[in-house]
Amino acid sequence: MNSTVPNARAEQQEIDASAKWPVLVFFSQAIAWLVIGGALQLIAATQLHTPGFLGGHEWFTYGRVSAAANALLTYGWGFNAGLGVALWLMARLSAAALRHGGWLIVACKAWNITLGLGAIGILIGGTTSFDLLEMPRAVTCMMLVCYAAMGVWAITTFSVRNTDNVFASQWYIFGAVLWFPWLFAVAQTMLFGLPTHGVVQAIVGAWYVNGIHGLWFVPLALACAYYFIPKITGQPIHNYYLAGIAFWWLVICTAFAGGARLIGGPVPAWVSTLGTVANYLIIPAVVIIFTNFFKTLAAGFGHAKGSVTFKFTFLSVVAFFFAAVLNLVLSNRGFAADMQFTLIPELRDWVVSYASFSTAIFGAAYFIVPRLAGRPWHSSALVGIHFWLTVVGIVCLVVGVGYAGSEQGRLLNSNVPFAEITDLLKPWLAFRTVSLLVLLVGHVAFAINFFWTAFNTVIETGPKAEFANPPAMAATASEGQHA
């Protein structure tokens, strides 16, 4: 065996040891919020077709529960899990140990305590009217401070890297880590600190929501894909030299695309037009990413198909392209005018935040956790249950909500009374609730398996689940993604 392979393994083990407790703490917090937020989301979904459900408890009225669920799933699950994966990937690709892990854990705990207070503030009636900014103002400054204390370590790790190469995953991680505080600070200032008036508030709100999905969820999902696809398949990224073009093209266009969410709204025409043009200009970036991924996947499919990380990553990539198509369709003025008050725009955001981002994080967790815990996943059965419930839940929800939203748009444009439309949609809204329940059961299976694997110090002699990837790839020394 080449002597560099043991050296590379030793280096990776040192990096994993430095990242072990910070990343496991990030994951544990994220999974807890995933289950809690999913339960609240299920309650809100149930109330759409059964309005009396928990109707006697003001904390659990639809407006409060829905806003709390959005906050917990976005900032609880999305940010904890995203930062956990980002820090591990950045350390591995930089060939540098993660420094000051204790401070990272303190910052993580402070972030989650602040988030919990914000969620309670929403449930007791302290919410705002802006999507993804519902938490009371009292906690937002603390959130920004806590985020800075967490995100700075990704930048620090990159700055002390021991490699000359900078990989695509690092571009997307670096971008996401820096873009969020900019988005959050500007939105908080323009909506609450020094509030703007009139239609400018709607423009800022749309810009922020689009930024969270396009400049946080999407980059981190792509960072996972650019790392794990070559890692597991053993194939270099096809036409990797084009990845840099796709990165800049995607993020610049996304920054201007928020106005497309306001098509038909009482805003200056140039705002929605700029957003529409920006969304159409994203097409070349999506085509490049398609070329990067699917030719690589086709070449290495046979070798990697047994890996659960590969399965989740493949699902994430497919969802990314589906979301890109759906976003493009919703940028068409005629279609947007018909569907803007339906479930379809909500479906577009859900596909990005869950079907693409969350599945990428699941795949990453199945690769990372055994390497940090020093043991394989405790239950292969729970791994399979989680994967198949995720697939079934995503397919059912996309089909159900897609059909319900299209029917809703057709009926609204046929001047059917709103109450009648609501009655006609109840079976599909119930189907959506069942789909969310399926996903929640999968989340519980994932949570049980995670805590069983990561924090169980008892050495057992019974049969164990295998590592989430083929043994040959688990020992791969190279972290490179280039051709």
Would residue 122 count as lying in a domain? Answer: yes
What was the pLDDT predicted at 6?
Answer: 66
CATH of the domain at 423: 1.20.210.10
The pLDDT of residue 54 is 85
Determine the Cα–Cα distance for residues 117 and 138; give it in Å rounded to an integer: 9
First-residue to last-residue Cα distance in the chain: 23
pLDDT tens per residue, range 322-362 = 999 999 999 999 999 889 889 999 999 999 999 999 999 99
How much is the pLDDT for 4?
Answer: 56
The whole-angstrom separation of Cα 310 and Cα 383 is 13
Helix (H, G, I), strand (E, B) or coil at 234: coil
pLDDT score for 306: 86
Residue 4 lies in a domain: no
252 in a structural domain: yes
The pLDDT-based confidence of 82 (bands split at 50, 70, 90) is very high
Q: Which two tokens stand for residue 150?
A: 């967490």
| Domain assignment present for 5 | no
Output the DSSP codes for 49-115. H-TTTTTT-GGGSHHHHHHHHHHIIIIIIIHHHHHHHHHHHHHHHHT-PPP-HHHHHHHHHHHHHHH
Q: What is the pLDDT of residue 422?
A: 86
Domain annotation covers residue 373: yes
Within a domain: 36: yes
Q: Which helix (H) or strand (E) holds 386?
A: helix 380-412
Mean of all residue pLDDT scores within the chain: 90
pLDDT tens digits, 110-147: 999 999 999 999 999 998 989 999 999 889 999 999 99
Nearest-angstrom CA–CA distance, 304 and 232: 6
* pLDDT value at 378 more than 50: yes
Q: What type of residue is 475?
A: A
Q: Which domain holds residue 195?
A: 11-474
- Cα 14 to Cα 372: distance, rounded to the nearest angstrom: 10
How far is residue 186's CA from residue 443's CA, in Å, rounded to a whole number?
33
Q: Is the pLDDT of residue 163 over 70?
A: yes
Q: Does residue 463 register a pLDDT over 60?
A: no
pLDDT class of 276 with cuts at 50, 70, 90: very high
The DSSP code sequence of 278-303 is HHHHTHHHHHHHHHHHHHHHHHHHHH
- 355 neighbors 321 (Cβ within 8 angstroms): no
Kindly state whether residue 482 falls inside one of the protein's structural domains.
no
178: left (phi over 0), alpha (psi -120 to 50) or beta: alpha
Q: How far apart are CA 130 and CA 132, in angstroms?
A: 6
Question: In this predicted model, which residue has the larger pLDDT, 137 or 431?
Answer: 431
**Residues 177, 86: contact at Cβ < 8 Å?**
yes
Q: Is residue 483 part of a domain?
A: no
* pLDDT category of residue 479 using cuts at 50, 70 and 90: low
Residue 180 DSSP label:
H
Locate 348 and state its tokens: 């577009």
pLDDT of 469 > 70? The answer is no
Domain count, the chain: 1
pLDDT band at 303 (very low <50, low <70, confident <90, very high): confident
Other Cβ atoms less than 10 A from the Cβ of 280: the count is: 15
| Cα separations in angstroms, 217 against 199, 211, 406 | 27, 9, 26
Over residues 166-213, the pLDDT tens digits come to: 999 999 999 999 999 999 999 999 999 899 988 999 999 999 999 999
pLDDT on residue 2:
52
